[in-house]
Amino acid sequence: MNNQPIGFIDSGVGGLSVIKEVMKVLPNEQLYFIGDTARNPYGSRPLNEVRNFSRQLANFLQTKKIKLLVIACNTATAAALDVLQNELDIPVIGVIEPGSKSAVESTKNNTIGVIGTKGTIHSEEYENKIKQLNQSTLIKSVACQPFVKIVEEDNLNSNEITEVVENSLKAFNRVDMDTLILGCTHFPLIESYIRDYFGEQVTLINPGVETALLVQQTLIKENLLNEEESQPKEHIFYTTGLAEKFEEMAKKWLDNKNFRVEHLPLKELVNK
């Protein structure tokens, strides 16, 4: 048994969609999360810069004695997964491989769509992972950067969402796909709008679900699972932006309210 916390890093609030799934399968674990909202979005930044930011976030969480790190951001996974796996002496998990595996297992016609940020799409990480699993798969990838802004600004009930979704997804109109990867952790938060656009004939893959299962499997394999069923410890969420806004959004999205939010000044990350 190991009662050290699990760490999560993300460019903003989107990683809470992964936190939500992990809370379901690992209710006894304490979670530490950093949402780098002050430097969001990562998706339009150079991958080298995102890699440096990810290092800073990971190094901070290392001071909290985490036992495993989840890169709960697709762009950061593309930029920094290999580097952090080499540099840290704890297991490091990204969201791209679990999402790719789930999509390949789901598709019936070997045609998969991917939506994500500019950085994730341009990295071609999803294409590479999917092709490793099934070389014959046809893949159509589309950058949907405006979706991130909608989520970060908490405009989830805005009348403009439907129009933005339609404009972004019309690139798939001539694609005969049956599976779509939500390749940004922000996107499950507007999943209902995406589902309305495609209908039930397209299966939507939320990589956060498979990532949560991989976290569970890794903890068991490495003998790091906390099996103690006592009162769960309070989860700690850090944000480099406004703590009040982050807390408001987290309370709205998460079923588990046993957390507190703290502001993390950028200088504490940059000077580490």
- The string of DSSP codes covering 102-121 is HHHHH-SSSEEEEEE-HHHH
> Within a domain: residue 129?
yes
In this structure, the dihedral spanned by the alpha carbons of residues 157, 71, 267 and 87, taken in order and rounded to 10 degrees, is -170
Residue 59 assigned ligand-binding role: no
If asked whether residues 125 and 197 sit together in one domain, one would say: yes
> What's residue 11's pLDDT?
94
> What's residue 127's pLDDT?
96
Give dist(CA 40, CA 43) in Å, integer: 8
Residue 63 assigned ligand-binding role: no
- CATH number of the domain where residue 89 is located: 3.40.50.1860
Asked if 215 contacts 68 with a C-beta cutoff of 8 angstroms, the reply is yes
Neighbours of 12 (CB within 10 A): 25
Closest to 43 (Cα-Cα) out of 184, 234, 206: 184
> What's residue 155's pLDDT?
75
Per the structure block, which two tokens stand in for 266? 């950028």
The low-confidence residues of the chain, meaning pLDDT below 50, are none
Chain segment 24-54, per-residue pLDDT in tens:
999 999 999 999 999 988 988 999 999 999 9
If asked whether residues 144 and 193 sit together in one domain, one would say: yes
> What's residue 160's pLDDT?
82
Please identify every residue annotated as catalytic: 73, 184
> What's residue 89's pLDDT?
96
Number of domains in the chain: 2
Asked which of 187, 206, 225 is the last residue of a domain, the reply is 206
If asked whether residues 58 and 130 sit together in one domain, one would say: no
> Within a domain: residue 132?
yes
Closest to 168 (Cα-Cα) out of 185, 178, 154, 180: 180
> Within a domain: residue 241?
yes
If asked whether residues 161 and 234 sit together in one domain, one would say: no
> What's residue 231's pLDDT?
65
> What's residue 1's pLDDT?
66
Residue 111 assigned ligand-binding role: no
If asked whether residues 133 and 231 sit together in one domain, one would say: no
If asked whether residues 260 and 186 sit together in one domain, one would say: no
> Within a domain: residue 224?
yes
> Within a domain: residue 1?
no
Domain extent at residue 239: 6-94+209-270
